[in-house]
A and B are shown apart, each in its own frame.
Chain A
């Protein structure tokens, strides 16, 4: 099992939720103090550097118009890490390609990062959560179609080496596509895609990409992984080799654990109590979720069936439905991992066993008000006391 460290780079110093309508999209940035924020950026980068030294791989993401994630440009943070880190794989999870107007620019950014890091990039593509729609002014209808067209264009741009080609698609138009530099990894960096509904898993499986699931708990994750395994096994032989995406010559018909990734809030302490105290601070991320309904569910983002359920009082699709639960309840569901090193190991092992084998564990090892010292302790304990034992689990490399 590979293990990845992730922080959303939060700016946690917010007024009381009663004083604002929505923490995302509309919260005025007068609340942001550049003196505090610049220190936070540098602190979070220090912690990512530490993670590299401790043996973690590193995941980054981006969100817009929100204090919950100061990383508004995932390629910028990756560019710093590409140069400054020594060994970690560098994962963008992801690039919101249904919301980025210029996919070719993204192909260039990723190719540069892959070269500067000498082939350490793992490139994730995401559709983006509903609250990204308004900041991007992006049409919420037919987003998956737009995302896949951007994906197809980027892949073709990365793998075409004999000069310009033309692209006149529904959403993107370029008459002279000829990306420099080509990627360091051949044919291109490994690709990851996240999913929040099982309906979108099939296309990920058919291409053999890494499927990433966030904070679902093991029961739902098992469902996602099973859909993936089923669709993966059904891939036609020719398509399988063509869709490899990761440079492997022959794709097995059984999806290996390295095709699966799961993100959980994680805090390791010397004792269970210290780990729990730490994870409760990271849980700020789940609890800081006051979002106006109109930004949480733009028309066309969710299926009609989901909307009917919401109108029936089943609640709108929320960013973090787990926001009201206790740390203990979340541990029980496999949404967070916390406690002393042995407890955390056992929780991760249980998750892997319950989901049929997990090859990539992404820990949100920093979040909310978890301090620098606490983050250093968390990452160090994880790397020294938990990670060595993960080798006993499937999918270890």
Chain B
């Protein structure tokens, strides 16, 4: 259905909203940042699914990715909370009105370093929420430090060699009994939008591990603005005031295919899209295929696992139809007659 105006046609969706109703404030992230691409797909997915913005709530932790909820869905409530502590806040909030859909945005530090505990436990509880990790640490470097997702033995000129085991966020979600696990790459907007839509449909926790390249913290020695260059030329990191505009890194590859993607700093990641006929309901198979891919240092993309029948937290808590935050006093404060009964229960 479209409205015609005198000069242009404004497209609207089935509930009569134009795409602009799903937008947020202009981004303050760097041009070419993968997070911006993901924000665009969140907007597109919600618009195309005819979701009412007021029926959505946004959560985030702290970090570049956690800034992004201001860049989409201005008409939805949002809470930019604390580093690594967003899942608990989302849990309390979503129980207050379980008819509101939660979209949470986090990063690999926010989720896999400081937030590891809350990440695992929100998965255990199967809180019904779309949980997006905008993961820029997968190739091993964020702001000059190793990410928890860095592979063992990765060498960084200014850091040395990473002696520790890597954390694979999708794997951790699967092992933790997440009822929906998917991975994608910010530069594959079609796939990103697909998995976001699937996640929005899912009643339970939906973990989306989305590789999202960082444009700013280059580590290539030859690059004029790498961290190593800065150290050598005694330029403090925060003095690197010139961030060259970068373009989004885009990929296109088919189900079953693998592709190598060159990041802004010259490192490569290898993406493998799951086959068209891959069955995502078999958890053991999912673990096996993830492990296989990891051994080859490939990142598997697509819908890795889904289990739609598990009860979500709202089911477990047997909440009434009226949202808890709309209950009137007479459904919250016990009646006056009850106080005698309570006193009798005491000794």
Q: Is the pairing of A and B real?
A: no
Binding site for B on A (CB under 8 A): none
